[in-house]
């Protein structure tokens, strides 16, 4: 007799539930893909770029269209995120007073510093700006709200992964994300050392790797367990950021302390 344990057969009901779960995962993948692309696309273009069967993408797109989650826009059968998502987001904000408090804090930071203030979080294994108040400078220094960026490119990234072990960090961040915008590579060991120092000091600042003229600041917003679940950030012209370094950090830390426990 074989010692191999028998595998219980999958029932039709279990198989149906599994297919629905995979379909839901794929639907969210489509929505995230369109969010990051920031442009309407045809279903066959979506399927090709996410590596999914065209038949399943067409089926899910039609379902999302019927429910207002996607809308036709741009002609030629192109689809993009639908207005129902706006209403869902508005309902989310109405439920959480923190967002209003966060907007007020960003407003104060921008007024105090004249620089662009941001509230930033992780989105999966990427960094994103969730809220932003632009400074009063005549030129724009900011990232688009909701745009996903590799974690090692950002000051906030050093704080947002600090609760992970060294091994968890290198497993969590895709290896390709350690390539900087200028084509150079950041040694994961150097990044982890920066993570540990940022966690110890409660701050991280550096000259931006995304462009050549800005200096970025980030301080953590921690939960009850001390984990940095979000950051408050400033993006400033490099010379001004270095000149006002201590004052900018003070403004961020005061705002983070005032918001502590509310997010």
pLDDT digits over 167-186, tens only? 999 999 999 999 998 889 99
The yes or no reply on domain 12-85 and CATH 1.10.10.10 is yes
Task: Give the start-to-end residue ranges of the domains of the chain.
Answer: 12-85, 96-259
Whether residue 135 contacts residue 115, with contact meaning beta carbons closer than 8 Å, is answered with: yes
User: What does the pLDDT average to over 221-243?
Assistant: 91
Predicted confidence at residue 1, as pLDDT, reads 46
Looking at mean pLDDT, say which of 23-27, 70-74, 164-168, 221-225 comes out highest: 164-168
> Which pLDDT score is estimated for 143?
61
Question: Does the structure show a pLDDT above 60 at 162?
Answer: yes
Q: What are phi and psi of 39, to 5 degrees?
A: -155, 150
Q: What's the Cα-to-Cα distance from 250 to each of 94, 196, 218, rounded to whole Å?
A: 30, 21, 11
Whether domain 96-259 has CATH 3.30.450.40: the reply is: yes
Quote the pLDDT of residue 24. Answer: 87
Cα(68)–Cα(257) distance, rounded to whole angstroms? 40
């Amino acid at each position: 007799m074989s010692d191999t344990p028998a595998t219980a057969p999958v029932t039709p009901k279990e198989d149906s539930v599994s297919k629905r779960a995979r379909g839901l995962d794929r639907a969210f993948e489509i929505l995230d893909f369109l969010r990051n692309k920031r442009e309407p696309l045809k279903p066959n273009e979506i399927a090709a770029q996410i590596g999914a069967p065209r038949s399943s993408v067409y089926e899910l797109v039609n379902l999302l269209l019927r429910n207002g989650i996607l809308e036709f826009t741009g002609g030629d059968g192109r689809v993009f995120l639908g207005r129902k998502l706006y209403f869902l987001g508005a309902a989310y904000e109405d439920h959480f007073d923190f967002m209003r408090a966060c907007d007020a804090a960003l407003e104060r930071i921008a007024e105090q510093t004249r620089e662009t203030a941001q509230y930033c979080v992780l989105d999966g294994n990427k960094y994103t700006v969730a809220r932003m108040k632009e400074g009063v400078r005549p030129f724009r220094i900011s990232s688009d709200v909701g745009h996903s960026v590799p974690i090692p490119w950002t000051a906030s990234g050093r704080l947002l992964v600090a609760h992970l072990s060294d091994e968890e960090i290198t497993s969590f961040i895709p290896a390709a994300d350690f390539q900087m915008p200028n084509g150079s590579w950041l040694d994961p060991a150097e990044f982890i050392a920066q993570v540990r120092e940022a966690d110890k000091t409660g701050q991280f600042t550096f000259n931006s790797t995304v462009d050549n003229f800005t200096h970025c600041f980030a301080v953590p917003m921690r939960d009850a367990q001390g984990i940095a679940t979000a950051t408050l950030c400033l993006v400033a012209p490099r010379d001004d950021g270095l000149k006002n370094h201590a004052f900018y950090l003070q403004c961020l830390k005061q705002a983070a302390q005032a918001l502590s426990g509310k997010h």
